[in-house]
Amino acid sequence: MERHSIVVVGGGGVGKSAITVRFVLNRFVTDYDPTIQDSYEKEIVLDQNKCLLDILDTAGCEEFYYLQGITYRTGDGFLIVYSITDRSSFDLVTHFLHEICQIKDLKEEEVPMIIVGNKCDLEVEREVSYQEGQDLARLKHCKFIETSARTNQNLEEVFYAIARETKQIKCYCEE
Ligand code: GDP
Ligand code: MG
């Protein structure tokens, strides 16, 4: 079976664990240890073919910095997550994007990445507009999706989209 390694990155508290756990276990977590870097497996059917996603929920704190190089190098596809209720997490997106490309020594358009604006159920607390997310994604040559781990909005879409992109790039590289 094909395997794709998906890495979930982003600032603290944006919902990386919530998104991952929601997609893999279909549960919404309200408290998850921020220092745990955890990996999950989920089998999905992509265009009639079964494939296995190895999903790595990163912790992103300083003690894990040394892990970052290894994680980015082994990752095939990346979800770069921010919270629509936290402007500073949006500002970090570019930073993560650059780190990933630098470590992999690839251009932005060569790495399967999706920018994910999470917590879209919290419309009243919104600090980053949909348009801003979309504009950044266009600039960085990647897809953009807003999600909610709480309401389960667009989570299947996000993971299937990154799996599909990853698969496409791999096929292209093997030609
Ligand atoms: P991480 O540090 O990026 O892994 O963030 P967590 O997944 O631990 O989430 C941080 C907090 O935000 C937790 O209290 C979650 O319950 C909450 N949270 C995560 N995603 C959502 C969401 O889509 N909507 C709402 N309302 N809260 C969320
Ligand atoms: Mg977490």
Which tens digit of pLDDT belongs to each residue from 96-123?
A: 999 999 999 999 999 999 999 999 999 9
Residue 52 has pLDDT above 90, yes or no: yes
- Indicate the residue type of 99: E
pTM, rounded to two decimals:
0.95
The protein residue whose alpha carbon is closest to atom 2 in ligand 1 is 13
Ligand 1 mean position to 121 CA, how many Å?
11
Residue 175 has pLDDT above 70, yes or no: no
DSSP-derived letter for residue 141 is: T
Q: Decide: 121 in ligand 1 pocket, CB within 6 A.
A: yes
Structure confidence by residue, pLDDT tens digits, 10-27: 999 999 999 999 999 999
- What the block records as the tokens of 38 is 């955890």
DSSP-derived letter for residue 60 is: -
Residue 148's closest CA among 117, 115, 104?
A: 117
User: How much of the chain exceeds pLDDT 90, in percent?
Assistant: 79
Q: Decide: 22 in ligand 1 pocket, CB within 6 A.
A: no
Q: Please report which confidence band the pLDDT of residue 1 belongs to, taking 50, 70 and 90 as the band edges.
A: confident
Nearest bound ligand to the CA of residue 158: 1
Tell me how long the chain is.
Answer: 175
Q: Please report which confidence band the pLDDT of residue 51 belongs to, taking 50, 70 and 90 as the band edges.
A: very high
ipTM summary value = 0.99
Burial of 26 (0-12, 13-18, 19+ CB in 10 A): exposed
From 35, 55, 118, the mutation candidate for ligand 1 (largest count of ligand atoms within 8 A of CB) is 118
- Indicate the residue type of 7: V
Q: Rounded to 5, what percent of the chain is helix, strand, coil?
A: 45, 25, 30
User: How much of the chain exceeds pLDDT 70, in percent?
Assistant: 94
Residue 15's closest CA among 165, 156, 155?
A: 155
Cα(23)–Cα(139) distance, integer angstroms: 28
